[in-house]
Amino acid sequence: MKRSSAPAWTTVLVIVFFYIPTLTLIIQSFNSAKYGGGWQGFTLDWYRKLMHEREVWRAVQNSLWIAAYSTLGATTLGTLGAWMLNRYKSKLQSAHYTLMYAPLMVPEILMGISLLMFFVNLGIPLGLPTIILAHITFCVSYVCFTVMGRLQDFDDSLIHAAQDLGAQWPTIIWKILLPLLGPGILAGALLAFTLSIDDFVITFFTSGPGSTTLPVYIYSAIKKGSLATINALSVLMMLVTFTIVLVSNHFINHKKT
């Protein structure tokens, strides 16, 4: 085999550009210096302080509710969409496919602004419901394509075999489709959850008074200047997101082997 220094360089670059900033953030969250900068000793004060900030926990609660509802909505719609795109073949399907794919390409800021205009023009008051609708809108495509990957490996003759053995549709869905597609659907759901809980731009445009989510809160907190607690908060958030991504990856890769 040819030896190459390319992999080594790739590793170095990934560390420099991705993990070092993250690492800095983690270290800073334990730094007793109030505005960051030089190391002034280890402390858990910022985490302690964070626990007492009522606004943070309101934001966390908002974020979790939004993520839960938009995951539910996006997973249901995305799975049905994937099923329809995969099952029926017609000339219209390529148009449907593009329509499903487009939200993945549209810049978030455009989507945020257009959703804002849409809600304002319809006279819908901004708040948790509008954020949930907005999140469902951009998560559906992700779920759809995750589930579709699973569906493409799915052998349609299994449905025929089940019918042939006497099964009706509810049994087929329960005993054949869900067990086989479940991991794909779950992976899609976890992806939607992570995307929703992390989202800033679209949330920023579609949120109203009292519906501050965690990323929006962090943004405003930084502007106000209380950087140290934010570091601690970011680390906690990262931990949660990371866990979810790991779990979802596990489900995506699980049945492929």
**Interacting residues toward other proteins by CB under 8 A:** 155, 157-158, 160-168, 171, 175-176, 179-180
Cβ 44 to other proteins shortest distance, Å: 47
Closest alpha carbon to 192 in 141, 127, 152, 234:
141
Closer Cβ to other proteins, 177 or 221, answer by number: 177
Q: How far is the CB of 179 from other proteins (least distance, A)?
A: 5
In sequence order, what are the residues at sequence separation of 6 or more whose Cβ sits closer than 8 angstroms to the Cβ of residue 116?
A: 126, 205, 206
* 206 beta partners: none
Complex with other proteins: residue 33 or 180, whichever CB lies closer: 180
Q: Of 176 and 227, which CB lies nearer to other proteins in the complex structure?
A: 176
- Alpha-carbon distance values, 192 to 22, 43, 220 (Å): 23, 35, 24
**CA angle 47–249–193, rounded 5-degree value:** 55
Q: Tokens in use for 241?
A: 């997101």
Q: How many CB atoms lie within 10 A of CB 46?
A: 22
What is the rounded end-to-end Cα distance, in angstroms, of the chain?
26
The alpha-carbon radius of gyration of the chain (Å, integer) is: 22
Closer by beta carbon to other proteins, 175 or else 250: 175
Query: Min. distance of Cβ 158 from other proteins in angstroms?
Result: 5
> In angstroms, what is the minimal distance from the CB of 163 to other proteins?
4
Minimum separation from the CB atom of position 147 to other proteins (A)? 17
**Tokens standing for residue 38:** 């030089």
CB count in 10 Å sphere of residue 88: 10
Q: Contacts by 95-98 with C-beta closer than 8 Å and gap 24+?
A: none
DSSP state of 255: T
CB-wise, 113 or 172, nearer to other proteins? 172
Q: How far apart are CA 170 and CA 154, in angstroms?
A: 18
Is the Cα dihedral 155, 156, 161, 167 positive or negative? Answer: positive
Return the number of the residue (4 or 168) whose C-beta is nearest other proteins: 168
Q: Give the nearer residue to other proteins in terms of CB position, either 170 or 209.
A: 170
CB of 174 to other proteins, least distance (A): 11
CB 93, min distance to other proteins, A: 17
